[in-house]
A and B are shown apart, each in its own frame.
Chain A
């Protein structure tokens, strides 16, 4: 039975070691391992790597970063205690509105008065405006929630939002901001006036949130964005109105914008264009470069140190105004020996295997980044661009497999391999190819004990990879 069960990929073996699998999954893999010596070897290799890193972490990294010889004792501040629970605040909110407005008018603090007056006007404008369906995107460092909520939304993020006491009913509105602000026993507000927008910023010494900033469009005092910051953790929640949602009919395009252009949230298409720019310089093959949407920007963080490579990355992304590029560490001046983005055929076996492995991981990363739901948000042109990247990786994977066959002088018989189902999508293939490449890597590492059976296994793996690469050249 074990011989026909699929071989777990290295990531699954890692998750087994780290107890990240469900009991059912763990049991299935454990049963497979009992009957599969190859997988037991692979499991040992993962364990060796983890054990090696643990020793490196404790024996090398930690001593290399000595802690301060003497820590200062903590100076505990006088903490303000909550006088009431958030739920009570909410009940008291209506009464507090009147009281706070009264206090503001008595204190004569110009910034408070100005903020209160502005919010009062904006609330009146909001009430008199024609009701329309609004869609709000709520983000917290990479996790997204929609308002109105959708089934696929992250329930933990919604629970976290609601735990702040900030009103969930129409959260990106002047009335919600006023409700939160007016319930604060102490606060300080400021209004910043910018060319197209006005921002009301309120900070408070008590409560779950330390401060919140509401952005109003100057033209009609419409709330277009809001930022909330947690006091204890410093986490930030961003809210922004989104014009168009894939689950709803698209709004008709306006001939002439009636308001000045405001930065919108970066989209999955923007993310694709950044990935494509990096792909063109082959910077999507495992180099330490992270790409993430963050509000109106695409953040690209890189630990690449070589100065020439940094210039190439800078150049590749220079035409995209929404990219925020950060490099970690001081650059190392290129002495001309480093090579990047080699597009020619691999020269040796190790090189060829590395290239195959890198391409399979790049394909899987692409499949995961651009899920079917994400792809649905792309235009036809962008989908074609995405599939173009898939084709490039597939072609390079095929080249690497061909090079391995040539170097190993293996005759491959395609009839030895059953045809895989034709219904496979490029994503399902991309999910599986790293496991195949991992097995190939492992099989080649064991080549000292090469036998005919070993060659048969190698041939089979190469055929499978070659076939998958060919299917991926026409991704569906």
Chain B
């Protein structure tokens, strides 16, 4: 009975969060095929953990933490995919970009330029925050202290602030 219940729980989580996990893995430097495989592996591990009787208190936090660990393991083996430094140029080509008014598009370009100067950890903190994780959950996901999360977010927001207000 538990087995079926666990499979249903994991399938539900997989449907809800797989796209977010996939994008997070890309941010951490995995290639699209690696990210797709690792995203599946996250949910298989979740199922195994439930089957072994592990209590998963915060499902979303747990999923991102395991994704982080898988990405670190992958990156130790291979060179990561570059994070696109020309994001601001590509903005002009996105379908959504066409619908944006000029001011908003300029603001997005400024933000993209500022984003590209952030450290990998600052980006990761911002990304996880935007995915709804709290500071404690971000710290657990990345294996760093809460004060480091505050530091990374603080510095990142300082740079973004300048981009928005310039």
Contact = CB atoms under 8 A, between A and B. Distances in A.
A410 to B, nearest CB: 22
Chain B interface SS verdict (over half): helix
Contacts of A58: 130
16 contacts: A10-B158, A14-B150, A14-B154, A46-B157, A49-B163, A60-B97, A61-B23, A63-B94, A71-B14, A71-B18, A77-B48, A81-B51, A234-B70, A234-B73, A286-B155, A368-B151
Interface in A323-368: 326, 328-330, 332, 357, 361, 365, 368
Interface string B143-166: 111010011011101101111110
Nearest to A140: B143
A411 interface: no
A48 B94 contact: no
Interface residues of A, number: 69
Contacts of B66: 232-234
Interface string B97-113: 10010001001100110
Nearest to B144: A142
Interface string B46-72: 111101111000000010011001100
Interface of B: 3, 7, 10-11, 14, 18-19, 22-23, 26-27, 29, 32, 36, 40, 43-49, 51-54, 62, 65-66, 69-70, 73, 75, 80-85, 87, 90-91, 94-97, 100, 104, 107-108, 111-112, 115, 117-122, 126-127, 129-130, 134-135, 143-145, 147, 150-151, 153-155, 157-158, 160-165
A442 B114 CA distance: 18
Most buried by A among B91, B158, B165: B158
A388 to B, nearest CB: 23
A445 B69 contact: no
B92 to A, nearest CB: 11
Contact of A143 (B54, B118, B145): B145
A231 B154 contact: no
Contacts of A15: 150
B108 A48 contact: no
B120 A290 contact: yes
Q: Which of B46, B47, B111 has the most A CB atoms < 10 Å from its CB?
A: B111
Q: Pick from A46, A82, A329 the residue with the most CB of B within 10 Å.
A: A329
Contacts of A286: 155
A329 B82 contact: yes
A80 B3 CA distance: 11
Interface of A: 10-11, 14-15, 18, 20, 45-46, 48-50, 52-65, 67-68, 71-72, 74-77, 79-82, 85, 140-143, 206, 208, 231-235, 286-290, 301, 303, 305, 326, 328-330, 332, 357, 361, 365, 368, 438, 441, 445
B48 to A, nearest CB: 5
A208 B62 CA distance: 15
B135 A50 contact: no
Nearest to B36: A68
Given A10-B157, A77-B44, A67 B112 contact: no
Contact of B48 (A143, A232, A329, A441): A232
B69 A330 contact: no
Given A60-B108, A232-B54, A49 B47 contact: no
A141 B145 CA distance: 10
A230 to B, nearest CB: 9
Given A10-B154, A305-B82, 6 more contacts: A14-B153, A55-B104, A61-B23, A61-B127, A79-B47, A142-B144
B22 A18 contact: no
Contacts of A233: 45, 49, 62, 65-66, 69
B40 A72 contact: yes
Nearest to A72: B40
